[in-house]
Amino acid sequence: MKRTLQKSLDEKWCVRLTTSQPSGDAFDGVVIHIGKSIVALREFRDFQADGVLVFPKKSLAEVRDGELEVCENKIIKHSGEIRNINKMKWLADIDTVEDLLRVISKRKIWPAIEQIISDDSALFVGSIVEVKNKFFEIYCYDAADNGKELRISITKKSSEWSLKVDI
């Protein structure tokens, strides 16, 4: 897995990341950063560069680089879409989820945070209010609750994150 992630980063090569989430979600894209405990991926959808996704390394179940990815890379390179990768310089010093939270808070980037419990999930989008060593808060909107404003607290105990929602 490590070698394939590095190949994607070095060669701007599209791979498929599969997560260990219950739904086993898969994401196609080019690795744009490898930190101590995270991997950043420039996602591709329909052969076009889309958003940036950041995964804890421990959530990755598989990195695929097979015949389908060879085809996808030929299309992306031929169309010129690979030029839209643009490595983000601010990712260079990010090694952990905590580092990422501090930087995107400072840069006023609104993250989308997905909470997954078994087969159920919720998506929160909003501004980060506060970041501490083992804690951060986000003031957000819950799409599943008709845009209701929420303030959620996410705390870290050992290596896991837990969520508390204040309505």
The pLDDT tens digits of the residues spanning 47-105 come to 988 888 888 888 899 999 999 999 999 999 999 888 878 777 888 888 888 888 888 88
User: Can you give the pLDDT at residue 64?
Assistant: 94
Q: Are residues 14 and 45 in the same domain?
A: yes
- Total domains in the chain come to 2
| Residues 74 and 118 placed together within one structural domain of the fold | no
Is it the case that residue 152 has pLDDT exceeding 90?
no
Of 95, 118, 139, the position where a domain reaches its end is 95
How far apart CA 106 and CA 139 sit, in angstroms, is 15
> Final residue of a domain: which of 44, 66, 95?
95
- pLDDT score, position 119: 61
- Which residue among 41, 74, 95 closes a domain? 95
Q: Is the pTM of this model over 0.85?
A: no
Tell whether 86 and 129 lie within a shared domain.
no
The boundaries of the domain holding residue 162 are: 98-166
